[in-house]
Amino acid sequence: MALLPILEFPDPRLRTRAQPVQQVDAAVRKLIDDLFETMYAAPGIGLAATQVNVHQRVLVIDVSEGRKEPLALINPEILSREGIEETEEGCLSVPGIYDKVTRAERIRVRALDYTGKMIEFDADGLCAVCIQHEIDHLDGKLFVDYLSDLKRTRIRKKLEKERKERATAGRSRPRIEVPAL
């Protein structure tokens, strides 16, 4: 398994629409394993392949407290939505930013699992929110797209400034004192 670099907003690659997986093979299962390792290390509760610059319709989630319920979804589809719920969301691709987003409270999902078997299930609460959030990533959409233009612009500027500061700090050289003659 490998830790994969997570793209950060406003990276344009996050806007790429992921393509359906044609066959669940060893390469797809390795991607899933790498996504889980990356998500747990981040730490997060969900990660879509798009976030690591792999544009296949694959996502992983684990909303359990003890990280004991990993769920991989390949080519996920939301079949139905019920209710409306507003919850605070964050995102590994938008680090340190949290805001309220309105989503369906309950969803019915169909996808392929880790082995390639078709599964269909109902999800609610945090699991439903997480699946909808990650499917948005596969469609090239971020949770900040649900916010106002002003908020999104402020977030972009803040993250760009932080990235620039990190890059500058990484390149700083120790100052060499030259004795006066």
Q: What is the pLDDT of residues 7-44, one digit of tens each?
A: 999 999 999 999 999 999 999 999 999 999 999 999 99
What average pLDDT is seen over the chain? 93
Is 133 annotated to bind a ligand? Reply is yes
Residue 20 pLDDT: 98
DSSP label at 92?
Answer: T
Catalytic hit among 86, 88, 120, 134: 134
Is 91 annotated to bind a ligand? Reply is yes
Task: Answer yes or no: are the C-beta atoms of 40 and 4 closer than 8 Å.
Answer: no
pTM over 0.85, yes/no: yes
Is 137 annotated to bind a ligand? Reply is yes
**Is 162 marked active-site?**
no
Walk me through the domains of the chain, giving residue ranges and CATH numbers.
12-164 (3.90.45.10)
Digit-coded pLDDT (tens) for 107-137:
999 999 999 999 999 999 999 999 999 999 9
Residue 168 pLDDT: 86
